[in-house]
Structure 1
Amino acid sequence: METTTIITADDHPLLLKGLNDFLLERGYNIIGSGKNGREAYNLIVNKNPNIAILDIQMPFMSGIEIAQKCKTDCSETKIILITLHKEREIYEQAKELNIFGYILKEFALEEIETCLDNVINGEHYFSPNIATNLNKKNPDTSILSVLTPSEKKILKLIAKDKTNKEIASLLFISYRTVEKHRSNIIHKLDLEQKTNSLLIWAKQNQANLN
């Protein structure tokens, strides 16, 4: 733990001090702290820490942007992001960038030691609180199994705000065929016969349509 070098960064001074004090009290080796994304990135480049604990939203560079640059630079620093964001897109982006830790600010002091223990051992730690939150927002994907491949294609296009006319043109089918498919999808998904009910459902479940 003492030999593992760590830098921290947060644009909120009190939060940064609180995190640093918490880690120092527990014997972690903090070798630098930044007040914005640019300072954080420069610390990573100049000090080459084992771990960087970064707020995801900072001036000049976000935690995600820093992680992207570190990946491009082939940096060996393992990134841990602390975030208020619970969106699936950012969560998935973090995984794609091989970010080692991803925890919510509201649980940061509860989870940071567990996260660090995992990361120090070369393992990833994504807060179970985030996974629970995402699962609440996303229904069982098995509901999509009732749809035909053609209906799924149309649903994807609906989620992208395509009109019936545009869908017909893109899929080389008639306008009436698109309308028939829409009607079948609404029936299979047991949606209310309201204007935009299918569009709203498609938007809410877009992540499951890929």
Structure 2
Amino acid sequence: MRVLLCDDHPVYRDGLRALFDELGVEVVAEAASGEEAVMLVAACEPDIVVMDLSMPGMGGVEATRRIVAEHPLVRVLALTMVDEPATMLAALRAGASGYLLKGAGHAEIQAALDAVESGGMTIAPEVAQGLRAGLRPPEPFPQLTPRERDVLGLMSRGRTNEHIADVLVLSVKTVRNVVSGIFPKLGVTTRAQAVAAARDAGVDGAEASAP
């Protein structure tokens, strides 16, 4: 495995070089900027570029884009302090095959290099978790209480107040009161309108569990 290191901090590059020596990874060149990395890839033909993203001048994302466009067989592993999902997406769109944080342990870095070299992809778990949270659709009708959401879900399945009362172990009067409280929160005046709003919002109407 032939690796080019790109990071504007010499001390950090020294640490990575020492680690790669232990792992049996050949460091063919070091770059202190995106511009230098682009130039050295053509001269050194590495298998992988380990790329910092935050550097003066040409940033790591743009350098990644140029390297992948000009050398499709070269893989780029972003190794950065930035844990924002938006930055990760920008790097991946630019062509990076992996995204690790600089706090990663030796075993995690080695696993990432192996995955990238074999054509796979690796993403720091911390960043992936943030990305999943950002992609998760918002809860419909956040203004409703959990009990009101349960009742609305059963209403959307066409259940009567009596059936809802049985399922939720409530009195029919309590269910009627909950239904009445739902209407103004949804901006509707009838049960049919409430059901239509629930279905439009993607409320699945799964059977609620009794408390």
When the two structures are superposed, what TM-score results if normalisation uses the length of structure 1?
0.62
Please name the residue that 1:37 is paired with.
Answer: 34
Q: Does 1:24 align with 2:26?
A: no
Q: 5+ residue gaps in structure 2?
A: 143-184, 187-211
Please name the residue that 1:207 is paired with.
Answer: none
| AA matched with 2:130 | N
Structure 2 CA distance, aligned partners of 1:72 and 1:11? 23
Deviations 1:1-20 (A, max 9, x none): xxx21110111111110011
Structure 1 CA distance, aligned partners of 2:7 and 2:17? 11
Instruction: Assess if the C-alpha contact under 8 Å between 1:82 and 1:108 holds in 2.
Output: no
1:141 to 134, 137, 140: 137
67-76 or 79-88, which moves further after superposition? 67-76
**Whose Rg is larger?**
2
Structure 2 CA distance, aligned partners of 1:93 and 1:123? 18
| AA matched with 1:14 | V
Structure 2 CA distance, aligned partners of 1:23 and 1:29? 7
Q: Cα–Cα, structure 1 residues 82 and 108, in superposed 2: closer, same or farther, change >3 Å? A: farther
Q: Cα–Cα, structure 1 residues 32 and 74, in superposed 2: closer, same or farther, change >3 Å? A: closer
Q: Does 1:61 align with 2:58?
A: yes
Larger relative helix fraction: 1
Coordinate RMSD, CA, aligned: 2.2
Please name the residue that 1:102 is paired with.
Answer: 99
Instruction: Assess if the C-alpha contact under 8 Å between 1:118 and 1:124 holds in 2.
Output: yes
Instruction: Assess if the C-alpha contact under 8 Å between 1:5 and 1:30 holds in 2.
Output: yes
Q: Cα–Cα, structure 1 residues 110 and 26, in superposed 2: closer, same or farther, change >3 Å? A: closer
Instruction: Assess if the C-alpha contact under 8 Å between 2:85 and 2:127 holds in 1.
Output: no
Q: Cα–Cα, structure 1 residues 11 and 129, in superposed 2: closer, same or farther, change >3 Å? A: same
Q: Does 1:114 align with 2:88?
A: no
Instruction: Assess if the C-alpha contact under 8 Å between 1:86 and 1:134 holds in 2.
Output: no
Aligned length: 144
Structure 2 CA distance, aligned partners of 1:117 and 1:145? 45
Q: Cα–Cα, structure 1 residues 112 and 145, in superposed 2: closer, same or farther, change >3 Å? A: farther
1:132 to 125, 129, 132: 129
Task: Please state how far the C-alpha of 1:70 moved relative to its aligned partner.
Answer: 2.0
| AA matched with 2:45 | N
The 3-state SS of whatever aligns with 1:67 is helix
Indicate the percent of aligned positions where both proteins have the same amino acid.
Answer: 25
Task: Please state how far the C-alpha of 1:143 moved relative to its aligned partner.
Answer: 2.1
Task: Please state how far the C-alpha of 1:28 moved relative to its aligned partner.
Answer: 0.5
1:52 to 49, 57, 60: 49
| AA matched with 1:21 | A
Q: Cα–Cα, structure 1 residues 49 and 143, in superposed 2: closer, same or farther, change >3 Å? A: same
Q: Does 1:80 align with 2:58?
A: no
Instruction: Assess if the C-alpha contact under 8 Å between 1:7 and 1:33 holds in 2.
Output: yes
> Which runs of at least 4 in structure 1 moved beyond 4 Å after TM superposition?
none
| AA matched with 1:19 | L
